[in-house]
């Protein structure tokens, strides 16, 4: 009899150790919801005040911040590089900024010049034009002599 009780106890412990929980209904908490490890969120996810995600998580369906925000379904962050471009004083020129990060021609993009861009040049506009290309419009203010931008890399954020 003792052997049977011991065997049942071992199997019960193994069953408890390997158990997992699946919840198929809504979860509501008045406090903090904490998930340890990788997580996947599918469908609508809302947070009345703060939603903190730590670690690698996947959110399928997009993210909207604020009551009237547009949903962001994809975001890319990286840098792109332009070739040396000639821009005469008080005028603009366009340059293709290439990246190894995949983007879309429909992405909205923000480009930030680094300190390596000469002081007389300003980025006036940027738009995605292909899977790895951001077209930038560069203005030469003419405040200092020089018409060559040099080869430069810019930081970018692209979202759709």
| DSSP assignments along the chain, one per residue | -HHHHHHHHHHHHHHHHT------S----SS-----S-EEEES----SS-----S-EEEET-B--STTPPPB--EEEEEEEEPP-B--TTEEEEEEEE-SS---TT-EEEEEE-TTS-TTEEEEEEEE-SSSEEEEEEEE--SSS--B--SEEEEEEEE-
Instruction: Look at residue 13 in the predicted model and tell me its pLDDT.
Output: 46
In a domain, 111, yes or no: yes
**pLDDT averaged per 10 residues in sequence order, the chain, 160 residues:** 50 51 71 73 68 73 77 91 97 97 94 92 95 97 93 95
Domains of the chain: total: 1
Whether the full predicted model's pTM is greater than 0.75, yes or no, is no
**Residue 89, domain extent:** 75-159
In a domain, 106, yes or no: yes
- Convert the pLDDT of each residue in 74-87 to its tens digit: 899 999 999 999 99
């Amino acid at each position: 009899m003792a052997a049977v009780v011991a065997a049942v106890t071992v199997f019960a412990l193994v069953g408890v150790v390997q158990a997992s929980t699946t919840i198929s209904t809504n979860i509501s908490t008045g406090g903090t919801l904490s998930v340890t490890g990788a997580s996947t969120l599918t469908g609508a996810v809302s947070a009345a005040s703060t939603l903190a995600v730590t670690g690698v998580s996947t959110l399928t369906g997009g993210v909207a911040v604020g009551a009237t925000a547009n949903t962001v379904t994809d975001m890319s962050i990286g840098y792109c590089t332009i070739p040396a471009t000639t821009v005469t004083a008080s005028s603009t020129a366009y340059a293709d900024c290439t990246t190894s990060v995949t983007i879309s021609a429909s992405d909205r993009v923000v480009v930030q010049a680094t300190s390596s861009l000469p002081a007389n040049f300003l980025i006036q506009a940027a738009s995605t034009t292909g899977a790895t290309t951001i077209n930038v419009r560069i203005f030469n203010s003419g405040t200092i002599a020089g018409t060559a931008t040099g080869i430069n890399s810019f930081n970018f954020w692209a979202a759709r």
